[in-house]
Amino acid sequence: MLPSLLTPSLPCAWEREKRLSTTSKPLKKPSFNAMEISHPKLKAWVEEIEALCTPDRTYLCSGSKEEHDTICQELVDTGVFVRLKKRPGSYWCRSDPSDVARVEERTFICSEKKEDAGPTNNWEEPKKMKETLRGLFKGCMKGRTMYIIPFSMGPYGSSLAEIGVQITDSPYVVANTYIMARMGTKALDVLGTDGEFVPCLHSVGVPLEKGQKDSFWPCRPDDKYIVHFPEAREIWSFGSGYGGNALLGKKCLALRIASVKGRDEKWMAEHMLIVGITNPEGKKRFFVAAFPSACGKTNLAMLQSPLPGWKVECVGDDIAWMRIGKDGRLYAINPENGFFGVAPGTSYKSNPNAMEAIKENTIFTNVALTDDGDVWWEGMTDEPPHELTDWKGNRWTPASEEKAAHPNSRFTAPAKQCPVIDPAFEDVNGVSISAILFGGRRESVVPLIIESFSWAHGTFLGASLSSEMTAAAAGKMGALRHDPFAMFPFCGYNMGDYFGHWLEMGKILGKHAPKIYHTNWFRKGGDGKFLWPGFGENIHVLKWIFERCEGEGEGVESPVGILPKNFEAPEELFAIDKEEWQGEVKELRDYFELFASHFPMTMQEELEKFDDLVGRA
């Protein structure tokens, strides 16, 4: 492993005797690539984890391209990666069939008090969970390399950014983190000797005995833990090598831990895309939008406008961190450096900019492999290939019963490869937000677009968000579930308190608060067909929102919010069915009881207003 990079060029100041006294046998001296950890707290943590996990060697990642290429070649040599002939610098891989998505039933928020985790999170007493995890992590990296990955979530030098350090035994994680975060030497420079960082510990949980051959995708099919300790700001993940279960800077740090920091420090960590919209006159505004996974976030973030003079540029497709600036307005950064997009359904018809972004330097996981060295998935082309290798490694033809690509298969691509990446992507100050959008996948009830009456009403709409389940999480696809703010799987504390945090942020923002909207691209007519074409045509909705922010767009009040006036679309898209909405109110009333005393009084008042308006419709 990494023979050219593991030759130590500087002596390492490690307290070897202290650590060896806690292990059953001496460890090999750690190897480093011309870097040394000068942060005492970080050094002590690395020593502690090395002693617990007993890897064969330890490697501190520099974040260089040479290092990335070497890691990827190692994965090719071990059969995990297949180099793609038709996409320079790109690779295909497939996971264990048990390791393909988030495992929410094995994801824990271990706050000191159970009520602080709330009814939507799994909880365990922190001390008890640590004991369980220490037992699992003991010796778990035997026969493997322990990688130390310093990384920055957000542009270097931004006051909105946060530093994390992940320890992992998965080279797949190292290869993906190189794309998804700003990792390596510069992150350590920012950290200095006393900066704050979030410790992120991960292992696939499969130690190797001497001479034992590694599995193609190591994981623990029935023994997974993705654990967050909010007060300690720590993340421990065991047994999974896939996606956000293993790339701990993503959902674990950027949402679950960051949401707690945001609550405590009066800022917002949200499951939101960020786009810049420029009108024909050259005026530009920025919007953020929250949609559950696989509900069109990436497509909207990279929307190609068919409207002359209107331009959409992408700052981020998944996560937004927002703080209040000196001028009292809300400013957002994208803490990520890449896209971890859902592949199925992505095509030159649905998202040409995404297709251009993944032409090179991309890692494809659980898609299908063509015989001529390319990738394919359902919806990518009108006609499938005659034959290929599916995501399970089997030969596949159009006559096969199973899909060629897993529904949650992914691409990991550098954000800067997107043709419409916004110049503000690296802006350390972030971008000023004019509007906030929420949206789910609903076949009925919810109109195409609603503007809230106020920030409190907008918070109510966000809390009311529900959507048909997709393949991004284990569960019954198509079933309707509540997903407040598209944060149901990602809020790191009691969601009732999270609603309260939104209300508090609105009060702080006051007159500078962005407008709030609710969208639904997926409403169907009586014939079962979609009423709205979606994709590029969504620019018409963004245009109306832009005009409303400018004080120009016309709207008409309805019981559920302000609807567009004279909007060119089927009337059925905006129909308000009184009985359907009364059923919605009843269901919401039952759902909100989950949060008991943590449900804000202001939210209860908004629910009563909503019930009254619907009843008088």
99: left (phi over 0), alpha (psi -120 to 50) or beta: beta
Report residue 459: phi and psi, to 5°: -65, -40
| Closest listed residue to residue 105, CA positions, set 560, 489, 550 | 489
- Binding site members for substrate: 102, 242-244, 293, 408-410
**Using H for helix, E for strand and C for coil, what is the string for 389-421?**
ECCCCCEECCCCCCCCCCCCCEEEEEHHHCCCE
Amino acid at site 180: M
Residue 118, SS3? coil
Residue 244, SS3? helix
| Closest listed residue to residue 459, CA positions, set 511, 508, 515, 503 | 503
What are residue 449's DSSP bridge partners?
A: 519
Out of 110, 200, 295, 418, the active site residue is 295
Cα–Cα–Cα angle for 278, 284, 290, rounded to 5 degrees: 85
- Binding site members for GTP: 294-299, 410, 441, 535-538
- Binding site members: 102, 242-244, 251, 271, 293-299, 318, 408-410, 441, 535-538
| Closest listed residue to residue 582, CA positions, set 612, 549, 546 | 612
Q: Is residue 140 within 8 Å of 224, Cβ to Cβ?
A: no
CA–CA separation, 548 and 207 (whole Å): 58
> Residue 554: how many CB atoms within 10 A of its CB?
12
295 catalytic? Reply is yes
CA–CA separation, 126 and 103 (whole Å): 20
Q: Is residue 255 within 8 Å of 226, Cβ to Cβ?
A: no
Buried b (16+ CB within 10 A) or exposed e, 230-244: beebbbbbbbbbbbb
Cβ contacts of 83 within 8 Å, gap of 6 or more: 76, 90, 91, 373
- Binding site members for Mn(2+): 251, 271, 318
| Closest listed residue to residue 258, CA positions, set 318, 298, 201, 198 | 198
Specify the length of the chain in residues. 617
Cβ contacts of 533 within 8 Å, gap of 6 or more: none
CA 273 to chain centre: 10
- Rounded to a whole number of angstroms, the CA Rg of the chain reads 24
**Which residues are catalytically annotated?**
295
